[in-house]
Each structure stands twice: as C-alpha cells, then as structure tokens.
Amino acid sequence: MKFFRSHVLVGINETSIMAGVQDFIKALRLELAKHNLQEEINILETGPLGFFGRGICLSVYPENVNYQDVKLEDVTELVSEHFLKGRPLKRLMLDDGGKFSPKLNYSDRIVLRNSGIIDPENIDEYIGAGGYEAWEKALTQMQPADILAEVKISGLRGRGGAGFPAGVKWGFTAPIDAPQKYVVVNADEGEPGTFKDRLIMEGDPHQLLEGTMICARAVGATKAWIYIRGEYKLCIDRLQKAIDQCREYGILGKNIFGSGFDLDIFIKIGAGAYVCGEETALIESLEGNRGNPRWKPPFPGVEGLWQCPTVVNNVETLANVPFIIQKGAEEFMKHGTPECTGTKVYTILGDVAYPGLCEVDMGTTLRTIINDYAGGMKKGFRFKAALVGGAAGVILPDKLLDVKMDFSSLNQYAAVLGSGAILVMNEHQSIVDILWSILRFFRHESCGKCAPCRNGTQQLYRLISKIKKGKGTMEDVDLMLTIAETMQQTSFCALGQSPIMGVRSAIENFKDEFIAITKK
C-alpha cells in the first residue's frame, strides 16, 4: 500500500466546474511532478467539501487546511509554499485567521458520510467504504417484511418537508398484490435556496441508488425512476454513470446476487416546475402529462405511476436507508431525539461568515447550526431572522435562535423543517422585501389548476407589492393573512396551502416593520 504525506481533496461540483477545476487539477499535477512530489502528495477528486459558492475549493489532510476560491495562477505558489516549504497560503485559506474550521464530523454523518471523501464517479471507492453491503444484506439475509420492520423501528421520517414516517408510507404499498410496482425518487428540488439534495447526489450518487434499491425490495417494486430537475446536469451525469456501473457489476438487473429479484433504475429529467415537487404532479409529469396535482385518494401508494402502486420518496430520505439496514435501527436511533430520530442535512445561506452544507442530529439548535457550521454572522452584522425551509417555510426571529430543529419542536411554533434551507438575515434586511420575494415566487409557480391558489397568489403579490412601495395600509396586511389562511384551507395541493407559513410568521414576528411602512 502506498502512503502519502498529504492528501488534497478537490471538490468537483457545479461551482468548481464553472471555475475551471479540471484545468486546475491538470496544472497542479504537472507542478507537483516538476518538483518530484507526485509520490508524496495525493490528489483526490471528490464531491462537495461542505463549504461552497467559493469557486475551486481544496481540503488538505492531515494538515486540515481548507482553501477557497483558488485560481489557476495560484498553482505555482501553492506548491512552492505549502507542499515544498510547509507554509499554508493564508490568503487562500477559508479562514485566514485560523479561528474557524467547518465541523465536517464525518464520523457522525449518515447521509453525507462519504461526501467529500470518496470519488463519487468510482463505484469501487463506494464499495470500499462499505457501499452495497446493505443492499446485499437486504437481498440475501432479509425478507421484505424484515426490511419494512427495520425502517419502521428506526423512526425515519420523510426529509422532503412533510416528515411522514417512511416505514408507514412503504407499508401502504408492500402488501398490495400487483403485477407491477414502482419506486419514484423525488429529486426535483425546486425550493428557493435549497440544494442539499443536489449536493447529496453530486457527492455520493451510489448511496441514493442503494437506498432506492432497498426500498424497491421492501415493497416489491421491480422498476424505479429518479425524477430530477434538468438544471442538475452534473447530478444527472453522475447518477447515470452510477446506474451503468451497477448494471455492469450485476448490482442491478436480473436475478441480483442470485436472489431471484429483478430491478432496474431509470432517470427522468424534469422541466423545472415547482409544483412537480408535489408527488402526484411529479407522477403526472413522469407519465408525460402536464405537471398538475391529482385528487387524493387514491394515494400513490395504492394507485400511482401508470395506475400502479408507487412509493414516492425524497432523495435525502432514501439516502438514510442503507445506514439503517447495514447498522441497524438502534444505531440510527442514537442520532436525534426520541420523536425525531436520525440526522438532517441543511444548506446555510445568507449573511453568515461561511455559507455551507452540514449534517447534524435532529434537535440541534438553530444557533448551533449557524455558529458552529457557518462561522456565525458576517463580521459587523447581528442576527435578525432566518427563513427556515425555503419559500414554503417560516421566518424565525432572534428569540427563537435556540429552538431545536426537529419536526416536533418546530411544530410548537407553527414552524416546519421544510426543505432544509436556512437563509440567515442581518439587522439591515427588510422582512417586507423577503416576503415580497416569497410571494412573487408562489405567484409565478402556481399551476393554475385551482382558483384559490391561482387567484390567491396573484392577490397576495399585489398586496405585498403595494405595501413594499409604502402605499399599503394595515388593513392590507390583515387581508393578506386572511387570503393566505383561506388558501391554506381550500387550495388543491400543498403549493397553495404553503404561503400562510411565510405570511403569518413575517406579520406576527415582525409586525413593527409592516406598521412602519404602511399608511396610517
């Protein structure tokens, strides 16, 4: 076995590709070879490193040095100073003061345990990290009922926003005797500010595939579809490559591992409609129809894709499943709280020092997530609010900084975990402007199927625009709340039922801002 003095992890994602990361890697290898360092310094291409939006990023181990926004012209100095003289380049470090290093916590991760460590395009590295052991166990050592029971015991709840117990959902489909069943992966991540599923797929596509396979085995599905938004080109490429590798290795196909079970997985590229995040609208689009939601019941678990029993799960939900089957439900339950087990993946954005990706135990406070994983507020700013869960989420004030981030705790404040996005705002940000942006989004994305949403989103946008211009009254503010509440009770699907979250939390928590900007 070859031993290296240093390992340079290079994050390959959409941001770094646009910054020219492939040319950078070539130049780095050439410069290392020029100094005969190619046998001492190991360059590893991997997925997102945990901090993003900063061009080409590197993590160097065992020195634990993180570099950001590295350019092609930095290669010579980087090799000369860091790898020859042992002097890290402070001007390129994530934190040149050396006071902050993002808590990556690989030993405590479940969904992101391989992300930023292995090459996501190399199935052998995934297998070397224990990949597909859970799939083999599910096929050769467990019956479908055993898999279903283990997932139920684990307490895994859907990570797409609703938080519905995954095992219960699978239980609707598993006992149905049907000639064809399907598993559909919802990778149509359309929530503004949310891209944790994208980073999960970019960093470890095989883990999603393995979770999908285990779900299919548990419910008796022989075909699975990954419905993914068309903008996620790198994810699409990596997932297709992973699927092809699985077919080549016999991990997908006919009579897998001699078990008699057949399964294949396919990719469907979506056209970017937010409403297709709703499972029945997604199914309609997958069938080739306009992406409008269906009437429920029947629910997809009984009658879904092409009228067959179908399980629809979010990317993050399924990415938890291999750990549960491989390590056992009890090990999964050591994370989180008794009511909300496991971990949660977040993307932290806005006025924080270091925007990034993190995975923490359910029940971790909002304050801890912001301070320990994003370096706190940007220098000179104070915390004002956080939009938690994307456009369909809530705006939390500073008095709720110590709220525990899990389904049960947030429910006490009429709040939701939502999609896993945390948009942090400083004291200079306008809540009225934020609400205007949210309602503009809902107006644009309404499919128009039902009148409450079609007309309601238009009226909400008209009112918030009036208020934003300083021409509104407090009666307009009250009317917004009334319209949003009516939409919640009468809209056909979750899109029209969601604006109440942002409207109510903005008005109740920051009423003074609305009073200050409205006419008396």
DSSP alpha helices (H): ranges in 8-51? 14-18, 21-34
- 299 token code pair: 């629910």
Query: Does position 264 have pLDDT exceeding 60, yes or no?
Result: yes
- Enter the pTM of the model: 0.91
Query: Does position 104 have pLDDT exceeding 80, yes or no?
Result: no
CA 262 from centroid of its chain's CA atoms: 29
Of 208 and 61, more confident: 208
- 491 token code pair: 């809209």
Average pLDDT over residues 426-446: 96
Q: Minimum mean pLDDT among 202-216, 333-347, 413-427, 436-450: which range? A: 413-427
Average pLDDT over residues 473-499: 96
Contact of 498 with 387, CB cutoff 8 Å: no
User: Helix (H, G, I), strand (E, B), or coil: what is residue 282?
Assistant: helix
Q: What are the structural domain ranges in the chain?
A: 6-101, 108-333, 343-426, 431-517
Q: Minimum mean pLDDT among 112-116, 311-315, 373-377, 412-416: which range? A: 412-416
User: What does the alpha-carbon distance between residue 67 and residue 51 come to, in Å, rounded to a whole number?
Assistant: 10
pLDDT at position 168? 97
pLDDT at position 308? 98
User: Domain 6-101's class?
Assistant: alpha beta
pLDDT classification of 296: cutoffs 50, 70, 90: very high
Q: What percent of the chain has pLDDT over 70?
A: 97
- 63 token code pair: 């020195």
- 261 token code pair: 């079970």
Query: Does position 103 have pLDDT exceeding 70, yes or no?
Result: no
User: What does the alpha-carbon distance between residue 455 and residue 310 come to, in Å, rounded to a whole number?
Assistant: 32
User: Domain 343-426's class?
Assistant: alpha beta
Average pLDDT over residues 330-347: 95
* Angle, CA 143 vertex, CA 139 and CA 144 arms, to 5°: 90
pLDDT at position 28? 96
| Alpha-carbon distances, residue 171 vs 5, 161, 319, 396 (angstroms) | 51, 20, 19, 35
Query: Does position 316 have pLDDT exceeding 90, yes or no?
Result: yes
- 512 token code pair: 């003074």
Query: Does position 99 have pLDDT exceeding 60, yes or no?
Result: no
Q: What is the DSSP letter of 192?
A: T
Average pLDDT over residues 359-366: 95
Question: What are the tens digits of pLDDT across the range 25-44?
Answer: 999 999 999 999 999 999 99
Query: Does position 477 have pLDDT exceeding 60, yes or no?
Result: yes
pLDDT at position 13? 85
User: What does the alpha-carbon distance between residue 80 and residue 131 come to, in Å, rounded to a whole number?
Assistant: 38
pLDDT at position 1? 47
User: Of 141, 138, 172, 166, which Cα lies nearest the Cα of 154?
Assistant: 166
Mean pLDDT of the chain: 93
User: What does the alpha-carbon distance between residue 78 and residue 34 come to, in Å, rounded to a whole number?
Assistant: 13
Any idea how long the chain is?
520
pLDDT at position 96? 59
Of 208 and 94, more confident: 208
pLDDT at position 191? 83
Fold classification of 431-517 (topology level): de novo design (two linked rop proteins) (1.20.1440)
Give residues with Cβ within 8 angstroms of 229, minimum separation 6.
187, 188, 189, 190, 269, 270, 272
Question: Is 3.65.10.10 the CATH number for 108-333?
Answer: no
Question: What are the tens digits of pLDDT across the range 245-258?
Answer: 999 999 999 999 99
Residue matched to tokens 């994208």: 198
List, as one string, the DSSP characters of 474-520.
HHHHHHHHHHHHHHHHH-SSHHHHSHHHHHHHHHHHSHHHHHHHSB-
User: What does the alpha-carbon distance between residue 6 and residue 65 come to, in Å, rounded to a whole number?
Assistant: 11
Residue matched to tokens 């211009």: 469
pLDDT classification of 221: cutoffs 50, 70, 90: very high
Question: What are the tens digits of pLDDT across the range 150-196?
Answer: 999 999 999 987 789 999 999 999 999 999 999 999 999 888 878 89
- 346 token code pair: 């977040």
pLDDT at position 105? 53
Average pLDDT over residues 304-328: 97
List, as one string, the DSSP characters of 45-84.
EES--SB-SSSEEEEEETTTEEEEEE-GGGHHHHIIIIII
Of 106 and 48, more confident: 48
User: Of 101, 120, 103, which Cα lies nearest the Cα of 10?
Assistant: 120
- 53 token code pair: 């939006």
- 272 token code pair: 């970017």
pLDDT at position 357? 85
